[in-house]
Chain A
Amino acid sequence: MNREHSQQSGPTSPLSGAVMVIGGGISGMQSALDLANAGFKVYLVESSPAIGGKMAQLDKTFPTNDCSMCIVSPKLVEVGRHLNIELLTWSEVTGLTGEAGNFTATIKSHARYVDIGKCTGCGACELACPVTQISYFPQELPEGEKKKGSREKRTIRGPGSPLPQRLHPWTFEVAAEKCSKCGSCFRACLHGAIKWEKGGVAGVIADKCTGCGACFVACPEKFSAVTIADAPEIDRGLGAAIVARSEALKKEMAGRDERNCIRCGLCAMTCRKVMRIGALKMVAEGIEASLDTCQVCGACVSVCPVSFLAIDQVTNRTPQPLYNTFNEGLNLRHPVNILYPQAVPRVPVIDEASCVHLNTGACGICRSVCGPGAIDYGLKGGEREVRVGSVVFAPGFEVFDAKRRGEFGYGHYKNVVTSIEFERLLSASGPTSGTVQRPGDGRHPKKIAWIQCVGSRDHSCDRDYCSSVCCMYATKEAYIAREHDSAIEPTIFYIDMRSFGKNFDAYVERAKERNIRFVRAMVSRVFEDPQTGDLELRYVDGSGWRVTENFDMVVLSVGVQIAARTRELATTLGIELDRYGFAVSQDFTPLAASRPGIYVSGVINGPKDIPETVIEASGAALAASAGLAPARGTEVTVEALPAERVPEAGEELRIGVFVCHCGTNIASVVDVAAVAEYARSLPGVVYAGHPLYTCSQDSQESIRAIISEHRLNRLVVAACSPSTHEPLFMSTLRQAGINKYFFDMANIRDQCSWVHPNDPAMATEKSRRLVRMTVANASQAEPLAELEFDVNPGLLVIGGGVAGMTAAVEAARQGFTVSLIERQPTLGGQVQHLGRSWGGQDFSRYLLELKEQVESNERIRVFLNSEVVEHSGFVGAFSTDIMTPTGALRTIAHGAIIVATGAEEARPDLHGLGTADRVMTQTDFEARLLGGRDMVPGHVVMLQCAGSRATVQQASYSEPDTGTPCDTSATTAVTQAHLPYCSRVCCNQAVKNALHLKEINPTARIDILYRDMRTYGLGELHYQKARRLGINFIRFDPEENPPEIEVEDREIRVAVRDPSIGRKVSLAPDLLVLSTGMKPRDTEELASMLRVPRNSNGFFIEAHAKLRPVDLPSEGLFMAGTVHAPKDVSETIAQAQAAVARAAILLSKKNLRLSGVVSRVDPTHCAVCLTCVRACPYGVPFINAEHTAEINPALCQGCGICVAECPAKAITLGRYQDINLKAKIRSYAQAKPEAITVEESHDG
């Protein structure tokens, strides 16, 4: 019976252990890594030629100003080299059949025309390709018809006559046996260098020949009697030789102000012999162009060494420039193109629309210059089917087409750019290498205006939603622009400043301190001064006056939108999108799309920033793997590392040093070439280089090649912070077969170039010293062995609110055992006090279902009325003591922790809250609304930011009801009770409650007093609905225009100036509802037990603000929900799923490897004095049976206290031994000027 049953349900539809992730941006990459690291095979499908997405295009990221490329680059590399992620770039999903657990996806890959297996990413093809335009390819002529001659010709002249220059000359000869004696060459030669008589064979007179090749061009194709000699690269082909000569001539001519034709003949030879067009001819005055036969490919312009030719001169057709889409069209690209320098895979794609060879069969230069032979014009695209258990859909976004807002002149006025174009202008690897220039004339702009909400919050172009990120990215762009050029005066024109995320308000305040001007106004028109290119902006200021102001440049803060292609793809996948293209999902399953088995993350799920996207990506990975847990590990392969080479005794030091440019982050201050040169002179260094981005994929490959070529046995990188990049380089070293502890890093960015931007000479000197000390340390390095130990698959969840319960349920679904600890007697947390969600779903029913799931799950143990009292152990093997209600201690062994202690509504002592009946918080009001019609008032005033977003000066605004100016002690007391940050959820909660009230009592009057309505994302739709329903929104300014509120027993009086009508209004509401914000629960003791940091507001600090938003800084600890920062229920659920995804990576492993940096006791020196036993803060050392001290390496935290305390010096700590420190100190000492002089003379 059993066997029959398993035959029916088992093999017919077995679960697949693979997941398809669609979209290779930060979201898709994070999902792919989380899934692959947790034992699932991943197919990552990306429609563009390389992964990276929008994040790779950004310059810096808010609110930390981290360099976007620097933080995303390690992810690109990790995805690119992950054994269990199969990258399918330049590919699209064309079909999806089957059902959750067992889908079959059809993936169509476009032809790349470059063999990924052979390409080394050297970029030679891109450098050689002369084409820069989309050509008008000649039509194939019908049989028998002859090619028509040109009718329109133009002679292109320079300021003077052509000056033939015999530089890098080629030798032309006539092959007598091939010569047809036609005399074409004789007529073409402008220098009388051909001897020919009618009926005779032609010949070249060598001493008259200037090497222009006119004879070669003129000789008819079918005879090809003129041959070329002495031309470098000619064996690869004529095209390759032309490119090589062009490069050589360009170098020669650089710096010479030559605007006349130098009659090198490269243009005419390219046109006739490479492109097979023949539209150019050398004539006495210059170059004669056949305007109507030109195919407008741009090759002649590219090969011209002196910029004599311009594309619009050689043709009368409209050129169709081939814009670089990665740089947002700010510069041109070639048909063969690597998407961006750090691209993964770093393999070009040949564009079918513009490649001359693919269209006419001519050219073929790229193939002839490709060393590895990777270019193959015959390659075809393909289609394949893969079987996957679920799908993560993370297609990302495109920016709004700013041309649709014609009043700003985008597309017509050259100095009006979009915000993403401005990102590229700021970027070190962008078209201007990071200098802020106007696209119109290259001038450095002084006054720059940002116009917010272009394609956001705009009903007229069907973009009603708020794009959530623009206020912050505009502030960041203004901030960074001023960092690049302090003369820039930025102004940001905005409606509401929506800096609602963690530490965002503080960032905006910092921007204000840096002279960034914020003007609350909608710009109505932009006019260009056609002569100067300057721009005139018109707007109405805060007092209602019309203002005209001039700017040098305008940046349009374009919103995000879902691409038409994404909508088509959603149809293919069978998932439902809303009218704006965002995926339809439910409030309590925020990451599940409408079709089971498909999960969504990132902007497809509503506009959002990078950390929220990363949270959703991890959450979607978890949701996608939940149903596949039994198939975990069935489709993965395990990495085979080369055997580690054991260093021989007395082996000579062979140190390799890489000094990173970090784009311009380091190189703009530090002379990296000089530092590398200096490193080469240091003892033991046999190689030193200075790559642009040392952390990029291509650099890892070249480092591995250099290690083997130079037989390196130590690696030193001088770049950024080891805390972010050390693991990457260590892994590269290990892959080269060398123990990873033979690596060391000098931080010349965070600790040098960023600190000393104004003193390049001294910064370079400091970098030299840092490199010298690091090299000295590396010289003393020893190989360390890493310990492997078992992982306990249990998870401890602290906090039984929505976050904690969701985490528990999800972890149990993944097959892990969970201990859920709650301080209170019931589960549920803050959400118990809330009514219903945005989508109108009932929280109490949801909580009931969730509780039921928690309580009925046999893998989950719930401990109510319990608290953590003691915590020890290490990642994979923690031990936590909890105090249960009986007073008994219980020890729980587990492998990871999720902290979900949550937050509660703040209840500041404001306006009689807590004493007056008719003053309440939003949550109180929400509960009251559930009471039905009898409980609801007729007139409500809501006060936003009541006790939130307060600074010391602003805090006093809440005191006018005392009638007297408050004294300082009162202000201080008030300040302490106030929250300095924005609680993110209050604006949405106020709108939700107001709408609910209107639903119950449509005649109710509601006035919402606000500072900035922060109804971000799709919340904007509710805000607009509220305005339509007549809910009154009155803006106040806590400093200039604070509301006056008097609360008495029977009456509430509110007076405030309404800026929209310019008058004071007096209100006498039945209820005063305060939006008081959220404050974290008391976690001081817990944080110190877990040894994790919290910020000054009491929220836990994540391991990285952008890319590790659910990880705590200590390994094995994660967080979810409002313990991280204020957020709503859907966001909390997503983060709880994300936290489980991160924990699952650990818990799904049977064993983990621990750092080799641990203390070891040398028993022969141990005097058994017990000093180490007493000194160790973790109680690790003990005295063993052999009567010496022993340290368990699995428990050792590597702090080194015992090493320092041991009187017999019997304990050592790998990497931090006395010899290491001494080597560094001595090396530092050599930094005295006299020592440098000696070394410099040694250099010379």
Chain B
Amino acid sequence: MLEAFENGADGVMVIGCLEGDCHYLAGNIRARARVARVAKILESIRIGGDRIRMFNLSAGEGAKFAAYVNEFVGRIRELGPSSINIVRKNAA
């Protein structure tokens, strides 16, 4: 996840199955915890913890997926480019 930010992502969505429906039992619960941890790191290095978010969806929820993506992209647009990208652009 951090690698994505390093490589220039302005936001990262992590999408898992609905909680309780994970094919691997509790994988999505663990993923949620991991995302929360990454959010904290992002917060502490001033990139911003709300640039990463965990979503839960089932395979049949195409429309909901699109809505989530649009919502998240909208949110990231409001936040603007991540500080990594601003610094890099200025350096270039």
Interface, chain A (partner B; CB < 8 A): 755, 1088, 1091, 1093, 1175, 1177-1178, 1197, 1199, 1201, 1204-1205, 1221-1222, 1225-1226, 1228-1229, 1232
Contacts and interface: CB of A to CB of B under 8 A. Distances in A.
Contact of B26 (A755, A1177, A1197): A1177
Given A1177-B27, A1199-B27, A1201-B30, A1225 B21 contact: no
A1229 B7 contact: yes
Contacts of A1088: 20
A1096 to B, nearest CB: 9
B7 A1177 contact: no
Which among B20, B23, B34 has the highest number of chain A CB atoms within 10 Å?
A: B23
B80 interface: no
A1221 B3 CA distance: 9
B45 interface: no
* A-B interface, 8 closest residue pairs, ranked by CB to CB distance from nearest: A1199-B24, A1229-B7, A1177-B25, A1229-B8, A1225-B3, A1225-B4, A1225-B7, A1177-B26
A623 B21 CA distance: 36
Given A1225-B4, A1228-B4, A1228-B9, 4 more contacts: A1088-B20, A1093-B21, A1197-B24, A1199-B27
Given A1175-B30, A1201-B30, A1226 B7 contact: yes
Interface in B1-26: 3-4, 7-9, 20-21, 23-26
A524 to B, nearest CB: 41
Contacts of A1222: 3
Contacts of A755: 66
Contacts of A1225: 3-4, 7
B30 A1204 contact: yes
A1178 B21 contact: no
A1226 B30 CA distance: 25
Contacts of B3: 1221-1222, 1225
Contacts of A1177: 24-27
11 contacts: A1091-B23, A1091-B25, A1093-B21, A1177-B25, A1177-B26, A1177-B27, A1199-B23, A1225-B4, A1226-B7, A1228-B4, A1229-B9
Contacts of B26: 1177
Contacts of A1232: 8
Count class of interface residues, chain B: 10 to 19
A7 to B, nearest CB: 56
Given A1201-B30, A1204-B30, A1204-B34, A1178 B25 contact: yes
A1205 B24 CA distance: 15
Contacts of B9: 1228-1229
Interface of B: 3-4, 7-9, 20-21, 23-27, 30, 34, 58, 66
A295 to B, nearest CB: 57
A1197 B30 CA distance: 16
Nearest to A1095: B60
B24 A1201 contact: yes
B89 to A, nearest CB: 10
Q: Is the interface of B mostly helix, strand, loop or mixed?
A: loop
Nearest to A723: B59
Contacts of B25: 1091, 1177-1178
Contacts of A1221: 3
Nearest to B12: A1225
A1093 B30 CA distance: 21
Contacts of A1229: 7-9
Contacts of B4: 1225, 1228
A1177 B20 CA distance: 13
B2 to A, nearest CB: 10
The dominant DSSP class at the A interface is helix
Contacts of B34: 1204
Contacts of A1204: 30, 34
A755 B24 CA distance: 28
Nearest to B85: A1232
Contacts of A1178: 25
Contacts of B24: 1177, 1197, 1199, 1201
A329 B24 CA distance: 52
A1205 B26 CA distance: 13
Nearest to A1218: B3
A308 B21 CA distance: 67
A1228 B7 contact: yes
A1087 to B, nearest CB: 10
A1201 B32 CA distance: 12
A1232 B25 CA distance: 37
A1201 B34 CA distance: 11
Nearest to B25: A1177
A1221 B12 CA distance: 14
A837 to B, nearest CB: 35
B27 A1201 contact: yes
Contacts of A1197: 24
A1088 B7 CA distance: 39
A1201 B24 CA distance: 9
Contacts of B21: 1093
Contacts of B20: 1088
B86 to A, nearest CB: 14
A1228 B58 CA distance: 25
Contacts of B23: 1091, 1199
Nearest to B4: A1225
Nearest to B20: A1088
A1091 B25 CA distance: 8
Contacts of B8: 1229, 1232
A755 B65 CA distance: 11
A266 B58 CA distance: 63
A877 B30 CA distance: 28
Contacts of A1093: 21, 58
A1091 B21 CA distance: 8
Contacts of A1199: 23-24, 27
A1175 B25 CA distance: 11
A1221 B24 CA distance: 20
A1158 B27 CA distance: 16
Nearest to A1088: B20
A774 to B, nearest CB: 17
A1099 to B, nearest CB: 14
Contacts of A1201: 24, 27, 30
A1197 B3 CA distance: 26
A1226 B34 CA distance: 21
A1171 to B, nearest CB: 12
A312 to B, nearest CB: 52
A574 B60 CA distance: 48
A496 to B, nearest CB: 29
B75 to A, nearest CB: 20
B21 to A, nearest CB: 7
A1138 B63 CA distance: 34
A81 B3 CA distance: 44
Contacts of B66: 755
A541 B4 CA distance: 62
A657 B66 CA distance: 29
A487 to B, nearest CB: 24
B59 to A, nearest CB: 9
B87 to A, nearest CB: 15
A1222 B4 CA distance: 8
A1093 B61 CA distance: 14
A1093 B59 CA distance: 11
A1178 B23 CA distance: 11
A274 B71 CA distance: 69
A1222 B1 CA distance: 10
A618 B30 CA distance: 40
A1093 B8 CA distance: 37
A938 to B, nearest CB: 49
A1017 B23 CA distance: 39
A1228 B6 CA distance: 12
A1232 B82 CA distance: 14
A494 to B, nearest CB: 28
A1144 to B, nearest CB: 26
A1023 to B, nearest CB: 35
